[in-house]
């Protein structure tokens, strides 16, 4: 078992994730991409090279979201089971279970996918940002 994490740090990471995912769920893709470091990587698609840097991440997000154009489906990302492992360099290795819920008008919400996020959070400077995110899909296992 890893070292204990302070409740303050845990709450700060939860707050970071809440703002990051609300930006994504509400279509503020530039804001979401801006939560990565300048050399941050985002591995969304299994087997594909990760997008590196906020500009490339933004393009990856735009390409992914095209599948929802003209579709009134609302996506919501729900994070839980967040495990934080602080590193000697000040970064945090984070593993998160997430459910992506899809809601269509006049229909019951449905779980779209179940994923595991493997993040490295940079804590330097005045705000948290991601050095890397790798998405693992439970269905692919």
In a domain, 58, yes or no: yes
- Residue 110: what pLDDT? 95
**Mean pLDDT value across residues 57-72:** 92
* Confidence band of 2 (pLDDT split at 50, 70, 90): low
In a domain, 34, yes or no: yes
Decide: 58 and 30 in contact? Cβ < 8 Å.
Answer: yes
**Mean pLDDT value across residues 105-124:** 95
Minimum mean pLDDT range among 16-25, 48-57, 67-76: 67-76
In a domain, 1, yes or no: no
Assess whether pLDDT exceeds 70 at residue 141: no
In a domain, 75, yes or no: yes
- Residue 71: what pLDDT? 87
In a domain, 27, yes or no: yes
Cα–Cα distance between 47 and 136 in angstroms, integer? 11
Structural domains of the chain, count:
1
In a domain, 2, yes or no: no
% pLDDT > 70, the chain = 97
Assess whether pLDDT exceeds 80 at residue 3: no
For residue 126, the enclosing domain spans 7-140
In a domain, 62, yes or no: yes
Decide: 132 and 122 in contact? Cβ < 8 Å.
Answer: no
The CATH code of the domain that includes 57 is: 3.10.450.50
* Confidence band of 74 (pLDDT split at 50, 70, 90): very high
In a domain, 136, yes or no: yes
Please report the DSSP string for the chain in residue order. Answer: -PPP--HHHHHHHHHHHHHHHHHHHTT-HHHHHTTEEEEEEEE-STTSPPEESHHHHHHHHHHHHGGGTT--PEEEEEEEEEEEEE-TTS-EEEEEEEEEEEE-TTS--EEEEEEEEEEEEE--TTS-EEEEEEEEEGGG-
């Amino acid at each position: 078992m890893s070292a204990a994490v302070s409740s303050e740090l845990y709450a700060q990471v939860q707050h970071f994730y809440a703002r990051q995912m609300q930006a994504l769920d509400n279509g503020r893709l530039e804001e979401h991409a801006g939560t990565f470091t300048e050399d941050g990587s985002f591995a969304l698609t299994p087997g594909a090279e990760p997008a590196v840097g906020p500009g490339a991440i933004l393009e990856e997000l735009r390409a992914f979201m095209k599948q929802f154009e003209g579709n009134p489906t609302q996506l919501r990302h729900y994070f839980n089971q967040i495990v934080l492992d602080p590193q000697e360099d000040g970064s945090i290795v984070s593993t998160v279970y997430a459910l992506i819920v899809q809601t269509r008008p006049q229909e019951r919400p449905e779980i779209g996918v179940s994923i595991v996020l493997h993040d490295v959070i940079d804590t330097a400077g005045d705000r948290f940002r991601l050095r890397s995110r790798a998405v693992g899909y439970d269905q692919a296992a």
